[in-house]
Amino acid sequence: MKRLIAILTGITLLLGLCSGCAPKHTQTVLLTPDPDGHVGKAVVTTAGGIQLLDTANAMTTISEPNAEPSTVTTASSEYLNKKFAQVLAVEPIPSEKFIIYFNNNTSEMTSESQSSFHKIIEAINKRKAIRIKISGHADSTGSDKLNIKLSCTRARFIRDLLVRQGITAEDIKVSSHGKGNQLIPTADNVSEPRNRRVEIIVR
């Protein structure tokens, strides 16, 4: 996912700025990395030309709709802190991911996962999370039908635990994948403990 930060006193992101909507001030578009370091791409277009932003902290400015966006430069840390500190400060906290593991062919958490489950509740309460995604998974032993059912049971089990801890059910989205989307790729009929899991993403 690309993130665009625009310090503007007029309109917002400049992806096709019309010539009849002249801004009163220079507009800056800055592309910053995602929290995991991934850098997306953004195309800034005016009547005068196009600039591609595709590197970390790439930046261009536009003085008027008919002018070509300025040559792309890289914003320094000092510049970011000076010009963009307020915008960066209000960015949402990056999502957190947790993995709960299960005993073979059951919806019982492993002892290690039981002891760390409280960290999920703490993260949800600390963030005041409004979106929680739960996905259930199984290893490749057993039939596809059984694994779909088992991964769904595991996901719902975690959802119900969260609800009993006071988390609003409407904020939780549940999905199940059976033996699909393996954390550790294996052939069929391989017992892999790390694939017997539920992933929880807290936003």
In the predicted model, is pLDDT for residue 161 greater than 90?
A: yes
Query: Which span out of 9-18, 58-67, 74-83, 161-170 was modeled with the highest average pLDDT?
Result: 161-170
What global pTM score does this model have? 0.61
In the predicted model, is pLDDT for residue 159 greater than 80?
A: yes
Domains of the chain in start order, with CATH, are 3-89 (no CATH), 96-202 (3.30.1330.60)
Contacts for 101 with CB less than 8 Å, ≥ 6 apart: 109, 110, 112, 113, 193, 194, 196, 197
pLDDT digits (tens, 9 = 90+) for 89-127: 666 667 899 999 999 999 999 999 999 999 999 999 988
pLDDT of residue 22: 46
pLDDT of residue 2: 44
Mean per-residue pLDDT over the chain, rounded: 84
Measure the CA–CA gap between 74 and 72, rounded to whole angstroms: 7
**7 pLDDT band (50/70/90 cuts)?**
very low
Q: What is the CA radius of gyration of the chain?
A: 23
Measure the CA–CA gap between 19 and 16, rounded to whole angstroms: 9
